[in-house]
């Protein structure tokens, strides 16, 4: 029975203090379908799904599971209905091992003691399903972000869900991992598992969704079949007006060489990296996850130590051993990992914004200056809601990314190292960020753009360096740049050297 609903929501609402995040939503999810949920940042997607996962006791409206009314007011109750969720903000316990996280709540025991052998074996079995070969006893905090995301997926699968909700599961995954995830989704679907899939990526949604629900401002706009709507129409449904596709204009050509890096090496991570960035140039760094791009960025901004190498900015040496010195000479690093490293989630957006400026200047700003700094960034990046006192954790995912970017822009950097700057932001916000990056370049600043989003690299970068296994293997000029070319270059040397 293809139309047989597994979930039926009637007039479901959820209010946070001051925000009606989900507003009288009616939604039918059919058994065994892949149901995509789309909408702008802050549309209410995560909140709606958290209701299903039992995060809130205070939602209103009716939820029916398998045709029977169910009150889902705790994660345990969601589990009894077979509902599992992979959270946008990963929910893993950092100090615990991968296996303990995956098997949480039903760790194998022998008498009083944990049965370590079984734990390792069980853990490994689930990790294999997602194609991750880290050791099950490894603490989660030692993992990279994309590995943590895979562990999160393994954890949800280990509970054998009937309904699996995935909230932007691919935001930290490489193309190869996305493919693997889609294979897992296909397998789960065959087994009759129902999947609800939140994503900002139109291409992903068209690939895997049977139906798409669009949300806007907490309301459900419609549920449609992908074949019935083309991407521009879908975007229009999300933003409530026709989408415009204006090219971003560059106002000037890159000028003199402003930022130079020579012999940059950190054993095991990157080797003999050399490049320059001109005034007003956007230098892209392409490559596959694990190529060493983030490690390089962390070395260039003084976050991690390097073994050797010179950095010269405007003719002056910058000491990579000191993060403070890097900041003072104008280097800003936007981390790819906003939840774990970028933001102090419990502090207000205002404090987050001011913190980087404080660190750079070495003294505190007056209250009024802090406020001005915040409102200026909030307005530029269209932060929503633009409330300075709101905790970082209480913004939607895409708006947290804007807080993070604003915090670095507030330091008035001269060299911007951007690591996946538009991760998790919606189409509109992405455009705003792209325009901002181009505007900074037009002011003569140097931009290093690390991105796994190939259209983004192709659209913004003047040149792209391809990084592979810790080395720059190729440089591509603006003329050579196209999505396909970047992808091929990132993989090409892999085929050429099958043994390394
Ligand atoms: N913990 C919270 N406290 C208060 N308001 C919140 C909280 N979490 C989200 N909100 C607000 O609820 C609304 C819906 O947010 P939600 O996180 O559901 O959006 P989303 O569609 O998942 O967006 P994104 O694509 O950016 O992840 C937003 O206006 C947001 O600011
Ligand atoms: Mg969300």
Residues 217 and 292 in one domain: no
Average pLDDT for 53-67: 96
Residue at 252 is within a domain: no
Q: Would you say 420 and 450 are in contact if contact means Cβ atoms under 8 Å apart?
A: yes
Ligand 1 atom at minimal distance to the Cα of residue 48: 18
**Could you tell me which residue, 249 or 285, shows the higher pLDDT?**
285
Whether residue 263 is found in the same domain as residue 235: no
Burial letters for 243-282: b for 16+ Cβ neighbours within 10 Å, e otherwise? Answer: eeeeeeebeeebeeebbebeebbbeebbbebebebbbbbb
Q: Which ligand is nearest to the CA of 383?
A: 1
| Percent of the chain scoring above 70 in pLDDT | 96
Quote the tokens at residue 234.
């879908």
For residue 386, being part of any structural domain is answered with yes
Classify 37 as helix, strand or coil.
strand
Considering only residues 211 and 90, tell me which one the structure prediction assigns the higher pLDDT. Answer: 211
Given the CA of residue 385, which atom of ligand 1 is nearest to it? 31
Measured in Å, residue 223 CA sits from the centre of ligand 1 at 21
- Most ligand 1 atoms within 8 A of CB, residue of 44, 58, 170, 422 to mutate: 44
Q: What is the structure's pLDDT at 325?
A: 87
Q: What is the pLDDT of residue 500?
A: 37
CA of 463 to the centre of ligand 1 (A): 36
Query: How many CB atoms are closer than 10 A to CB 213?
Result: 23
83 C-alpha to center of ligand 2: Å?
18
**Dist. CA 144–CA 28, nearest whole Å:** 36
Q: Give the length of the chain.
A: 500
What ligand 1 atom has the least distance to the C-alpha of 400? 26
Atom of ligand 1 nearest to the CA of 88: 27
Question: For the purposes of burial, counting CB atoms within 10 Å of the CB of 311, is it exposed (0-12), middle (13-18) or buried (19 or more)?
Answer: buried
Mutate to test the pocket of ligand 1, among 15, 21, 381 (most ligand atoms within 8 A of CB): 21
Phi, psi of 317 (to 5 degrees): -70, 140
Ligand 1 closest atom vs CA 168: 27
- 244, part of any domain: no
Q: Whose CA is nearest to atom 19 of ligand 1?
A: 42
- Kindly state whether residues 315 and 438 are assigned to the same domain: yes
Kindly identify the ligand whose nearest atom is closest to the C-alpha of 50. Answer: 1
Give residue 251's pLDDT.
80
| Nearest Cα residue to 400 out of 384, 411, 416 | 384
232 lies in the same domain as 261: no
Domain for residue 163, yes or no?
yes
Domain end point (choices 186, 207, 239): 239
Counting from 1 in the atom list of ligand 1, the atom nearest the Cα of 215 is 21
Domain stops at, among 207, 239, 271: 239
Of the ligands numbered here, which is closest to the C-alpha atom of 426? 1
For range 22-31, the mean pLDDT: 98
Count CB neighbours of 234 within 10 A: 22
Residue 361, in any domain of the structure:
yes
Question: Of 239, 267, 284, which residue constitutes the final position of a domain?
Answer: 239
For the CA of 46, the closest atom of ligand 1 is: 22
- Residue 289 has what DSSP assignment? T
**Averaged pLDDT for residues 334-360:** 87
Q: Categorize the per-residue pLDDT at 145 as very low, low, confident or very high, splitting at 50, 70 and 90.
A: confident
Mean pLDDT of 72-90: 91
What residue owns the CA closest to ligand 1's atom 16?
44
Q: How far is the CA of 443 from the centre of ligand 1 (A)?
A: 34
What's the rounded mean pLDDT across residues 339-361? 87
Q: Considering every ligand atom shown, identify the ligand nearest to the alpha carbon of residue 395 and give its number.
A: 1
What is d(CA 434, CA 456) in angstroms, rounded to the nearest whole number? Answer: 8
Q: Looking at the structure, tell me whether residues 189 and 119 fall in a common domain.
A: yes
Q: 157 lies in a domain?
A: yes
More confident residue, 493 or 447: 447
pLDDT score recorded for residue 380: 92
Question: In this structure, are residues 192 and 31 in contact, taking their beta carbons and an 8 Å threshold?
Answer: yes
Within-domain flag for 245: no
Q: Note whether 211 and 95 are same-domain residues.
A: yes
Residue 187 has pLDDT above 50, yes or no: yes
How many whole angstroms from 234 Cα to the centroid of ligand 2? 18
Q: Are strands 194-198 and 34-38 parallel, antiparallel or unpaired?
A: parallel
**Same domain (yes/no): 174, 43:** yes
Output the six-digit token pair for 122: 């069980």
Same domain, residue pair 235 and 264? no
Query: Quick check: 125 and 47 in contact, CB under 8 A?
Result: no
Token output for 448:
């290093």
Same domain, 163 and 62: yes
Q: Which residues pair with 8 in a beta bridge?
A: 28, 64
DSSP state for residue 142 in the 8-state scheme: G
Domain count across the chain: 2
Residues with CB under 6 A from ligand 1: 16, 19, 21, 39, 41-47, 88, 385, 394-399, 426
Predicted local confidence at residue 248, as pLDDT: 77
CA dist 447 and 433 (Å) reads: 13
Q: What is the pLDDT of residue 220?
A: 97
Reported as type and span, the H/E element at residue 398 is: helix 397-409
Measuring from atom 3 of ligand 1, which residue has the nearest CA?
394
246 inside domain: no
**Ligand 2 centre distance from Cα of residue 46 (Å):** 4
Q: Are residues 152 and 270 in the same domain?
A: no
CA distance 83 to 103: 16
Residue 439: is its pLDDT beyond 90? yes
- Residue 443 CA to ligand 2 center (angstroms) comes to 33
Q: What is the domain range of residue 283?
A: 257-496
Ligand 1 pocket mutation pick from 18, 19, 22 by most atoms within 8 angstroms of CB: 19
Name the residue with the closest Cα to ligand 1, atom 22.
Answer: 46
Query: Which residue's structure tokens are 């810790």?
Result: 470
Nearest protein CA to atom 8 of ligand 1, as residue? 394
CATH classification of the domain holding 150: 3.40.50.300
143 and 231 co-located in one domain: yes
- Higher pLDDT: 148 or 174? It is 148
Token reading at 432: 């705003």
On whether the CB atoms of residues 457 and 464 are closer than 8 A, the answer is: yes
Q: What are phi and psi of 445, to 5 degrees?
A: -80, 160
- The residue whose CA is least distant from atom 28 of ligand 1 is 42
Whether 312 and 451 share a structural domain: yes
Dihedral-angle region of residue 487 (phi above 0 means left; psi in -120 to 50 means alpha; beta otherwise): alpha
Residue 423: per-residue pLDDT: 85
Q: How far is the CA of 46 from the centre of ligand 1 (A)?
A: 7
Please state, in angstroms and as integers, the Cα–Cα distance from residue 11 to each residue in 14, 16, 51, 62, 83, following that order: 10, 17, 13, 7, 20
Average pLDDT over every residue of 153-159: 90
Q: pTM of this prediction? A: 0.81
Whether residue 109 is predicted with pLDDT greater than 70 in this model: the reply is yes
Q: Measure the CA–CA gap between 274 and 283, rounded to whole angstroms.
A: 13
Please report which confidence band the pLDDT of residue 498 belongs to, taking 50, 70 and 90 as the band edges. Answer: very low
Give the Cα-Cα-Cα angle 317, 318, 319 (nearest 5 degrees). Answer: 115
């Amino acid at each position: 029975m293809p139309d047989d609903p597994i979930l039926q929501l009637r007039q479901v609402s959820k209010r946070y203090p001051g925000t009606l995040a989900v507003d009288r939503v009616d939604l039918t999810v059919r058994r065994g379908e892949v149901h995509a949920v789309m909408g702008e940042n802050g549309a209410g997607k995560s909140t709606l799904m958290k209701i299903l996962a039992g995060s809130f006791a205070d939602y209103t409206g009716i939820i029916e599971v398998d045709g029977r009314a169910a009150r889902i007011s705790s994660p345990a109750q969601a589990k009894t209905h077979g509902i599992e969720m992979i959270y946008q903000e990963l929910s893993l316990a950092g100090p615990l091992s991968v296996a303990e996280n995956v098997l949480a709540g039903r760790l194998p025991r022998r008498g009083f003691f944990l049965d370590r052998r079984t734990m390792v074996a069980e853990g490994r079995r689930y990790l294999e399903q997602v194609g991750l070969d880290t050791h099950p006893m490894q603490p989660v905090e030692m993992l990279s972000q994309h590995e943590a995301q895979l562990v999160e997926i393994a954890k949800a699968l280990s509970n054998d869900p009937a309904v699996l909700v995935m909230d932007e599961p691919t935001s930290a995954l490489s193309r190869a991992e996305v493919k693997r995830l889609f294979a897992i989704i296909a397998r789960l679907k065959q087994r009759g598992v129902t999947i609800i899939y939140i994503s900002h990526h139109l291409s992903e949604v068209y690939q895997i969704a049977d139906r798409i629900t669009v949300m806007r401002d907490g309301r459900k706009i419609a549920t449609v079949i992908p074949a019935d709507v083309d991407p521009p129409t879908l975007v229009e449904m999300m933003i409530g007006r026709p989408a415009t596709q204006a090219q971003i204009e560059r106002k000037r050509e890159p000028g003199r060489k402003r930022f130079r890096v020579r012999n940059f090496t950190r054993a095991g991570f990157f080797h003999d990296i050399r490049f320059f960035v001109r005034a007003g140039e956007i230098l892209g760094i392409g490559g596959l996850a694990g190529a060493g791009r983030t490690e390089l960025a962390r070395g260039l901004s003084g976050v991690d130590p390097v073994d050797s190498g010179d950095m010269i900015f405007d003719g002056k040496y910058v000491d990579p051993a000191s993060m403070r010195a890097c900041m003072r000479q104008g280097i800003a690093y936007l981390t790819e990992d906003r939840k774990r490293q970028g933001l102090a989630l419990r502090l207000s957006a205002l404090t987050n914004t001011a913190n980087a400026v404080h660190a750079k200047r070495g003294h505190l700003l007056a209250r009024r200056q802090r406020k001005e700094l915040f409102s200026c960034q909030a307005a530029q990046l269209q932060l929503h809601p633009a409330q300075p006192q709101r905790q970082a954790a209480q913004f939607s995912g895409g708006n947290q990314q804007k807080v993070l970017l604003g915090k670095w822009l507030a330091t008035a950097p001269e060299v911007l190292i951007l690591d996946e700057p538009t991760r998790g932001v919606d189409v509109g916000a992405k455009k705003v960020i792209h325009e901002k990056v181009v505007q900074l370049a037009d002011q003569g600043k140097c931009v290093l753009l690390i991105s796994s989003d190939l259209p983004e690299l192709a659209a913004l970068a003047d040149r792209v360096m391809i990084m592979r296994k810790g080395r720059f293997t190729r440089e591509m000029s603006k003329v050579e740049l196209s999505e396909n070319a970047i992808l091929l270059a990132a993989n090409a040397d892999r085929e050429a050297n099958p043994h390394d």
